[in-house]
Structure 1
Amino acid sequence: MAYAALVSLAQTLEQILKHDQHSIFCHEKRLLKSLHKNTVFLLAFLEDFSGKPNNVEGRITDAANEAEDIIECLIYEHIHSLKSCGGTQNANSSPFRNQHKFKKHYQKLPKINEDVVSIVEEVVKIKNSLLRFQDLQLNDSSPSSSPVINAPTKNDAMVGFDDDLLMIKTRLCGESSKLQVIPIFGMGGIGKTTLAKNAYDDPLTMQHFHIRAWVTVSQDYSVQEILFTLLFSIKEFKEVFDEEVHSYELMSERVYKSLKGRKYLIVMDDMWSTKAWDDVKRLFPDDNNGSRIMLTTRLSDVAAYADSSSPLHEMHCMNMVQSWNLLRKKVFKQECCPPELENIGRMIARSCRGLPLAIVVIAGLLSTISRTQDSWENIADNVSSAVQANDKQFAKILSLSYTHLPHHLRPCFLYMGGFPEDYEIHVSKLIKLWIAEGFLKPSVSKSFEEEAEEFLENLVKRSLVFIKRRKSNGKIKSCSVHDLVRDLCIRKGQEEKFLNVNKILSKSIRNQRRLSISRSSLTLLSNIYAPSVRTIFCFQHCQRLLSALEGFRLLRVLDAVKLIFRKFPPQLLELVLLRYLAFTFWHEGEFDLPASVSKFQNLQTLFMCPYMKKYENVRIRVRFPVEIWRMPQLRHLVLLKIDALPDPCARSSPLRNLQTLSVVKNFKCTERIMQMIPNLKKLGIVYDGDEKEWSDYHLDNLVHLHQLEKLNICVENRLRDRTPLWENLALPMMLKKLTLRSCLLSLQDMAIIGSLLNLEVLKLRYCSYEDSKWETSEEEFPKLKSLLIIGTNLQHWITESSHFPRLNRLMLCGCNKLDEIPNVIGEIPTLELIEVSRWNKCLVESAKRIKEEQQESGNESLQVRILI
């Protein structure tokens, strides 16, 4: 993993050379500058000759990792020696440099620099050889066309499986009133889940069932997780839900009662054992109302076990015609395939042996290379050799796709293997982790976050990562990887000493850079000293991890949300090089961060989540020391309902890198505080009424946050309808997304919100309007794409289509006093979807009437969805 190692080393060296924060290197600046120059050269080589054969990548990886280990060991020892000497020690005036451990590391710097110089000399020879080869190719052949990258389709069309989809839909919506189990089985990657998802999301299916729920079971399933998932899905259809239910018996009873008497569709995806069915079958009542259970599995005996009287729906591999049609659609979309590529394309499709996932992955690869015969023939030759061994054909096809990944995407892709099977990965978290790992190079035109989003989109285009959910603005909210793709990430990650996901750890992890550990692994951690490890993912609750951290002193990332702390653990303060820290704290009483938290001078993300069985009526007190203003690298503070940040003191410095601050209670937006967070992009606030007047919160100063793009303000229910939220409403013009909850809004407030030139998403949850009226004006909401209104007193909505010129989606739920949607809404040319709650029959009829009028006018694109 040469690229990741070099990018990380380059950033570490730049931090030292530019900011001169560590006096220990004052005599070695020339050496560090040489090391940095050679690191940048090797990076450029990998980027310029990505995919070209060379045998030095392993040496580059080892040398870059060793160089960074030496440098960070020196930094670590230096910081701790300063601590022991009261912070006054330096490399020139103390015996510090004569300490054995420090001196041992320091003496390694010239040697590792010599190793890197030797690698550079070898790379220069390789580069010259490759350039000569390219010159020969240019002289002997015509120039190739530029690569064409097609945008991914919005959903997975069932190309080649239309008959399967029709059969499943017929069984789902058939006349039989008896509870039926519909098993779908077939080999991995053949399209079982895609078929089930298309049937599940079909509009006819959505209207046919009162309740729908999707549960991914997997091999390592948990009955409680299944119950939680079912309860979470069912919650959408019930006004009241007791989140304190947590025992197996109580949860089972709640699921059963919630389903009783309702026509439901439950999907049990990726089931691996008959025991899994035995564990859940009693949850599903049979009321002879046409309810259905659809399950997918690779095992025919599991498929037959659930209901021996129900015919199995077996998925078969595609034939040649179906394979080529799927490949052609994925690569060319609506375009025609160039005639000179058709025969090669058919050969590639045939080599995938009818496995849809393999075809999709190869299509993602073909979409990123030149549309020339030479390029496609090269892929065809490699695919053919990769599938000769039937047992390993798909693994080899995936390996081929990995080999063709650009160097900068490889670490981001392999990182996916660190998450559990079938894990829904939140993109906001994934991006923070990539940045903390040092996978991204600084850019003048783009932030790290923007660059990371592009990397993820690129992996999606290659069909290596799948989208789970999108945000209201169209960006990816969460993603996942197929379990076979995850297997590839784990295998390659371990081969390249990049990632270890073994359930049982051994001394071999000393050579690994990242660990994803389970409970069974933790028994061995305390016996292992592995300073090379930079990342630990912990997906199991086990307090033993704290005592084991002493052996992982150079950690950058500690993702331990499953760990619950009653107070801030002092062991964490030893990890002075941390960039990402996530944990859970016990909510009872007070949770204070110590002043020594300022030791985290490299910390970029701090994520703290309260552990609670029930969120309502729980007062959480989390207090930060004033030293929080002395952590210059902070980019994201994600803290659920913490007390307001302390006022900065004279020694405080602005947190210029801070982009996220959420969620803060009773946040006072004084001018001083606004000056301390000048580049904030996302802000979440909760107000619970500690102050007497809204003016005490100085919300009008939000206008000074010139980079703010997302703002979420929630008012506790006891303050609702008291007074308007702002006396003099003023919001920053860069704002793209605004969410207000339980606020009282005046017509003037709504007019000011409408004047925001960049606002794309507006969510109003349980907000009240003065006089129950909202009247819009010309030139308001010029870029608004998504409008959501939930639980409001709104009775009169007066508007024109020109007032929402770019509206794409309108959602109204709990608007019980609103009798109709203005007909002019249907005339908005960009409108694609209206969603309304089934409980408001007037709005349902109004939405249907708007759709009918648009259809009569020739507009077939407008859809109406009735929310159950």
Structure 2
Amino acid sequence: MPSKSMIHGFKFLRVLDLQFVSIRSLPSEIGDLILLRYLALSLPDVKVMPSSIGNLCHLQTFILVGDEFKIPDSFWKIQTLRHFMVDSPIEPKAGCCLKDMHTLLQVQSGEWVRDGSLEKMRILRRLELYKISSSDSKGLDNALGRLNRLVWLEMEGEALPANILCSSNHPHLRYLQLRGPLERLHMDNIHYDAPFLRNLAILNLDGTRLESDDVSSKLATLPNLERLYLVDEAVVGSVLVFPKGGFPRLRYLSLGTLQDLEEWRVEEGAMPCLREVRLWWNQKEKGRGKKKIDGGSDSRYGVRKIERMAGAVVNLVLGKMSEYVFREVTPILNVGDEVEVSRITLRLLLSFLEDVDRKPNYQYSKLVEEWVSLIRGLAYDIEDVVDEYTLRVGRSRWKCSLKCIANLPTRIFARHHLAKSLQRINRNLQETSKHASELGIQGIPSTSLPSIKDTNLTLRFKEYSYDVAEDVVGFDHDIQVITNQLRDLHVTRRAVISIVGMGGLGKTTLANKVYNSQAVKHHFQCRAWIVVSQSYTARELLTNIMKQTMNIENNQIREMDEAEMKNKIKEHLKGTRYLVVMDDIWKVSDWETIKTAFPEEFTASRVLLTTRKMDVAETADPDSPPHHLKLLESEESWNLFCKNAFSNACCPPHLQHFQDKIINKCGGLPLAIVVLAGLLRSKHGAYEWSQTLERISHAPNKTDDQTHKILALSYNDLPHNLKSCFLYFAAFPEDYDIGADRLMRLWIAEGFVGSDQEGQTMEDRAEMYLIELINRCMIQVGRRNEIGSVVSVRIHDLLLDLARYEARELNFCRSIRDKGDSTDLRRLSITDDEGVHQYTSLGFAIPKLRSLLFLLKHDNVDMPSKSMIHGFKFLRVLDLQFVSIRSLPSEIGDLILLRYLNLSFSEVKELPSSIGNLCHLQTFIFLGNNLRIPSSFWKIQTLRHFRVGSAIEPKAGCCLKDMHTMWEVQSGEWVGDGSLERMRNLRRLGLYQISSSDSKGLDNALGRLNRLVWLEMMGHALPANILCSSNHPHLRYLQLWGPLERLHTDNIHHDAPFLPNLASLNLAMTRLESDDVSSKLATLPNLERLFLLDEAVVGSVLVFPKGGFSRLQYLSLWTLQDLKEWRVEEGAMPCLRELRLFDCSNMRMLPEGLRGLTQLKLFELHGMPIIKRRIEKDTGEDYYKIQHVPSINMPD
């Protein structure tokens, strides 16, 4: 076709497709088509393109079929180019800036790669790059590190970057072809914790000369690889091993012309999905598809002990090596190689430990125990070396940047020391690995073992996450008997009622169920729950009673002796009907010590004891026969098991034949039942159930106690990361109410949960681990908050004994009272006054201590401030809650590894400026008053959780991008200057003293904090638009105290759901218009709790409309002085369970609509005499509206 005719007169052309049209030249007039966006050409005979092509300023796609074609420089100035596809390699112009490029096919490497032109193409999806030379390597490696949207990549040349095979920067890459020799694979730059090439489906290697070990250790772990082609010396080495579990999704495999290959091994469990395999011209290959699987019953012995004692430690150290060393130590002195050797050896050992733990064991070997002890010791040695290095290098960074040259020798020496230490440890590791075969414990075929998969955990969290305390199957009769004894007004003396039974029977659960029942709550004027346990002091018990029954300050309690405390309690309780629960009393003397604090008047007061000891019950009150808690019957046992094992409490037919075996193993003991249910819930199918029950039968134990076997097996069945989390409970005292947030932040600081990953934070994973332990019934929920989140957890005494035993065996954690060598001690817990005194009198340091935990129950323990940190340079956790130190020494800044610092209820008034040196600090807690924080503190960019007891204003200009919790902070300049806005990961915010000048900045910030779950605000001008925000899909709790600014309803997008997951709303003094309650709040789809307090709403009429508040369960109206009429239309609040009215003095009658609230179980009325008169039983005009409510409470 004539070339000019193809474009003549078509000035508006946007698309010109001339593929397979033979033209002899491209006219210069092509440059006139400036609207052109798509150009496809076939120019087999033309070698030059006109320079006017550069005028096509809107061109997006260019396709050219032709050989050896020259493209003018002007072409590379077209910045709108998105797709460039040619037939033969063309080298782009150096310096080009094509930021919108998506496709670059058949381009030649060169200067444009080296000068950063390729690196600028950040949204490139498909790249085919040829003629790569060694001089291009560095620039290409840098560019590939930033092209993180690639889906398809082909490279050919004489020096290809090998690190692409282990890249974690290419989550979207699906196809990879490499043709040509690879440069050395820099294993020391690989972050093993980050999944590499996780979506790669096709890999084609040709002439790459990859080491065969890299196929086994790197390529085999690619999680989604489906096709693999290894051609023409793609791999070098005489032996190629496809390891156990490797290539889990591979379907198509081709091996061609691998001249070095003599033996190819495919281990059992490799390539389970393979459908086609093609082999050709492998001249030396022997034993095609040969399986080499060692094993035998000889290696079963010592199984449980091996994994239990070493696996968790090895796993923890591997995580630390990722966290520190690969970020810090690879550039100098080949330290990375030494780290890699340590790491690989430890991974092999850990894999063995995981594998061997899956088999039943029938005997125990001291040799194996000794071998495991060696592994554990070497793992700890590596942890020490890594921390020592981090400490030395970290301290050198404190110096001024002008002194960086002077500090260089320090850092080089530190790296040299690290390298030498790791070389020594590696020799020991290699020797230890050899010992395994000498002991005959290698190569055990595996069966499945549950592991923590985050997606599964998320599903399990949604499906289960219940409270064990609610599972009171078989206790109905016991509850009724105990309740009647407590409420029996015929017995006017102070009676002591005892619940007696063995450990694990459910005594505490039963007492708790009775204590929190509405009938008991309303019967007694004063109540207290006291945990006694085996390690207690009388002062602790008396302090606890005073705090629960009296409004008294801590400093007042400190000034009293025990006799004064008893008299004070006795005086306060005189004339009242009180109930005190004494949980877990062990000795008669425990009761004798405390009983004189309870007045013996004729007020029908009660003391409820739980105990395992019959003599305690009989001595406490000879006139009240003890209530003996019995083992569950078979049917009750099975019902309790099903309730805990299955989400719908129904056993599927294919598992029902296990009923008798399960009932017999548990023997009617509730604790054994729920723990076994938690264990079997993680198993799938009859085979795994059968194997687990068989393991219980053969589990070693000092006695034949089935309960202890079940508990031990439940621990052994935990994945390694959860083992460490469970062992941490060993640090806590008996019957301790453990704050869930505190516990999870401690886990994070210890390194148990790894690091942040894409789409999931450490906090998310820690919560999943907590829920998993709850679902496995290893721990129990203590309390939940308004939105259903776990606030505290508890652990049963028998499980705590197990955790303490395992922790001592591992040298994982010890109490200050435990005897033994402290040289290698990692964690130390102090739980009472005696422990504090013992600690302060220590005449030596504990050099390897990582965590120092003061887990006290009261706040009158004095300690010199310097002694708390003396000689503990490796501390990661320092928890000083309830320790009365008066100042924090400046030496605190030396603890640069510190991640967690809790100073709650101390007497510290000011932090030293050296606090700013804590460059790894994640959590800071100070529940107290009037703390001064230096500006250096706000430069710690690793901060994630900041919680104080009184409002503190952060420094303006702070940049805390990882912050998750900001609690009790004061508004101010930092809100308006964007500091708050930058905290995009914030989950929980408590902001106070908000003024009108903060309003605009706060409104802007809240619009961007779209991950908030919990928000409290107090001040004089609160942003009202938060009530109608569609930017907060995760917000579950909202509290606003103070007047709202005007609600800008014109800015609300009614099509977008606002606050779709809000569960609890607390408004006080907000002066919201009553119409906004009807039109806005009533439509919140998941609101369960609503509290309107102290002029939260203004207006004389409040209407709850038909269909409004569809999921509301709890409603409280407090001191709404303007309210005269409250209307509840038919169909409003269909799920309401509890209604409380306080001092709404102008309300004249109850709404008619209360009659239709069939789910209402509790109605409380306080301080409203007119309403009270109208609902008098049988005589009140409004009584018919609430007569269907089971519990009506109107205290005087």
* 1:72 aligned to which of 387, 412, 415: 387
Change (3 A) 1:729 1:394: closer
- The 3-state SS of whatever aligns with 2:814 is coil
Are the aligned partners of 1:352 and 1:387 in contact in 2 as well (CA < 8 Å)? no
Give a deviation string over 1:543-569, Cα, whole Å, max 9, x none. 257336333211111111133343331
Give a deviation string over 1:688-738, Cα, whole Å, max 9, x none. x8x7856597555432334333221234xxxxxxx5434887965346145
* 1:671 aligned to which of 974, 977, 981: 977
Matched, 1:195 2:510: yes
Give a deviation string over 1:61-96, Cα, whole Å, max 9, x none. 333322121121122233445668998356995377
The aligned runs of 1:196-211 (5 Å cut-off) are: 196-211=511-526
How far apart, CA to CA, are the structure 2 residues paired with 1:636 and 1:9? 24
The aligned runs of 1:16-415 (5 Å cut-off) are: 16=324, 19-20=327-328, 27-36=334-343, 51-52=358-359, 58-80=373-395, 88=403, 93-94=408-409, 106-116=419-429, 129-131=443-445, 151=464, 153-154=466-467, 155-178=469-492, 179-234=494-549, 245-246=556-557, 247=560, 252=566, 255-256=569-570, 258-285=572-599, 288-332=602-646, 334-338=648-652, 341-342=655-656, 344-372=658-686, 374-384=687-697, 394-415=707-728
Q: Bigger shift: 837-846 or 148-157?
A: 837-846
* 1:451 aligned to which of 757, 765, 771: 765
Matched, 1:827 2:1143: no
How far apart, CA to CA, are the structure 1 residues paired with 2:693 and 2:999? 68
What is the match of residue 1022 of structure 2? 725
- The 3-state SS of whatever aligns with 2:389 is helix
What amino acid is the match of 1:660?
Answer: T
Matched, 1:633 2:942: yes
Give, in angstroms, the shift of residue 414 of structure 1.
Answer: 0.9
What is the match of residue 440 of structure 1? 753
Change (3 A) 1:549 1:568: closer
What amino acid is the match of 1:484?
Answer: L
What amino acid is the match of 2:337?
Answer: R
How far apart, CA to CA, are the structure 2 residues paired with 1:713 and 1:264? 37
How far apart, CA to CA, are the structure 2 residues paired with 1:257 and 1:697? 54
Give a deviation string over 1:303-358, Cα, whole Å, max 9, x none. 12222211111223334454444334433465544566445432332233332212
Change (3 A) 1:95 1:397: closer
- The 3-state SS of whatever aligns with 2:852 is strand
How far apart, CA to CA, are the structure 2 residues paired with 1:842 and 1:265? 36
How far apart, CA to CA, are the structure 2 residues paired with 1:228 and 1:762? 33
Q: Bigger shift: 530-539 or 54-63?
A: 54-63
Change (3 A) 1:90 1:423: farther
How far apart, CA to CA, are the structure 1 residues paired with 2:336 and 2:388? 17
What amino acid is the match of 1:29?
Answer: G
Matched, 1:785 2:1088: yes
Structure 1 gap segments, 5+ residues each = 136-146, 613-619, 716-722
Q: Bigger shift: 49-58 or 224-233?
A: 49-58
What amino acid is the match of 2:910?
Answer: F
How far apart, CA to CA, are the structure 1 residues paired with 2:746 and 2:722? 14
What is the match of residue 656 of structure 1? 961
What is the match of residue 708 of structure 1? 1012
What amino acid is the match of 1:554?
Answer: F
Matched, 1:535 2:855: no
Give a deviation string over 1:408-451, Cα, whole Å, max 9, x none. 21111111111111111111111111111111134333211111
Give, in angstroms, the shift of residue 401 of structure 1.
Answer: 1.6
Equivalent pairs, count: 821
The one of the two structures with greater contact order (alpha-carbon pairs below 8 A, sep at least 6) is 1
Q: Bigger shift: 752-761 or 664-673?
A: 752-761
Matched, 1:484 2:798: yes
Are the aligned partners of 2:1119 and 2:1144 in contact in 1 as well (CA < 8 Å)? yes
TM-score (structure 1 length as normaliser): 0.83
Change (3 A) 1:242 1:92: closer
Matched, 1:776 2:1085: no
What is the match of residue 608 of structure 1? 926
What is the match of residue 156 of structure 2? none
Give, in angstroms, the shift of residue 192 of structure 1.
Answer: 1.3
- The 3-state SS of whatever aligns with 2:403 is coil
What is the match of residue 680 of structure 1? 986
Larger radius of gyration: 2
How far apart, CA to CA, are the structure 2 residues paired with 1:539 and 1:50? 33
Give, in angstroms, the shift of residue 491 of structure 1.
Answer: 0.5
What is the match of residue 430 of structure 1? 743
Are the aligned partners of 1:3 and 1:43 in contact in 2 as well (CA < 8 Å)? yes
Q: Bigger shift: 402-411 or 463-472?
A: 402-411
Give, in angstroms, the shift of residue 7 of structure 1.
Answer: 4.4
How far apart, CA to CA, are the structure 2 residues paired with 1:641 and 1:299? 45
Are the aligned partners of 2:525 and 2:576 in contact in 1 as well (CA < 8 Å)? yes
What is the match of residue 559 of structure 1? 879
* 1:500 aligned to which of 807, 814, 819: 814
Q: Bigger shift: 116-125 or 555-564?
A: 116-125
How far apart, CA to CA, are the structure 2 residues paired with 1:684 and 1:265? 36
Are the aligned partners of 2:1127 and 2:1151 in contact in 1 as well (CA < 8 Å)? no
* 1:575 aligned to which of 895, 913, 922: 895
What is the match of residue 142 of structure 1? none
Are the aligned partners of 2:816 and 2:839 in contact in 1 as well (CA < 8 Å)? no
Change (3 A) 1:529 1:587: closer
Give a deviation string over 1:186-206, Cα, whole Å, max 9, x none. 222122112212222333333
How far apart, CA to CA, are the structure 2 residues paired with 1:483 and 1:157? 18
Identity of matched residues, %: 27
Change (3 A) 1:466 1:739: same
Give, in angstroms, the shift of residue 582 of structure 1.
Answer: 1.1
Q: Bigger shift: 259-268 or 383-392?
A: 383-392
- The 3-state SS of whatever aligns with 1:577 is coil
How far apart, CA to CA, are the structure 1 residues paired with 2:786 and 2:601? 37
Are the aligned partners of 2:977 and 2:1001 in contact in 1 as well (CA < 8 Å)? no
Are the aligned partners of 2:883 and 2:906 in contact in 1 as well (CA < 8 Å)? no
What amino acid is the match of 1:600?
Answer: L
Q: Bigger shift: 70-79 or 839-848?
A: 839-848
How far apart, CA to CA, are the structure 1 residues paired with 2:347 and 2:982? 34
Give a deviation string over 1:651-672, Cα, whole Å, max 9, x none. x6x3221111121124431133
What amino acid is the match of 1:183?
Answer: S
Give, in angstroms, the shift of residue 476 of structure 1.
Answer: 1.0
What amino acid is the match of 1:607?
Answer: I
How far apart, CA to CA, are the structure 1 residues paired with 2:1106 and 2:843? 68
TM-score (structure 2 length as normaliser): 0.61
What is the match of residue 1039 of structure 2? 740
What is the match of residue 1140 of structure 2? 836
What is the match of residue 599 of structure 1? 917
Are the aligned partners of 1:851 and 1:864 in contact in 2 as well (CA < 8 Å)? no
- The 3-state SS of whatever aligns with 1:591 is coil
Change (3 A) 1:129 1:819: farther
What is the match of residue 258 of structure 2? none
Structure 2 gap segments, 5+ residues each = 1-308, 362-367, 449-458, 1161-1185
How far apart, CA to CA, are the structure 2 residues paired with 1:847 and 1:382? 62
How far apart, CA to CA, are the structure 1 residues paired with 2:819 and 2:575? 49
Give, in angstroms, the shift of residue 865 of structure 1.
Answer: 7.9
What amino acid is the match of 2:1077?
Answer: E
How far apart, CA to CA, are the structure 1 residues paired with 2:565 and 2:718? 45
Whose helix proportion is higher, 1 or 2? 1
Give a deviation string over 1:453-510, Cα, whole Å, max 9, x none. 111111111211011111222121110101121111110011012111251454x122
Are the aligned partners of 1:832 and 1:863 in contact in 2 as well (CA < 8 Å)? no
Are the aligned partners of 2:1119 and 2:1142 in contact in 1 as well (CA < 8 Å)? no
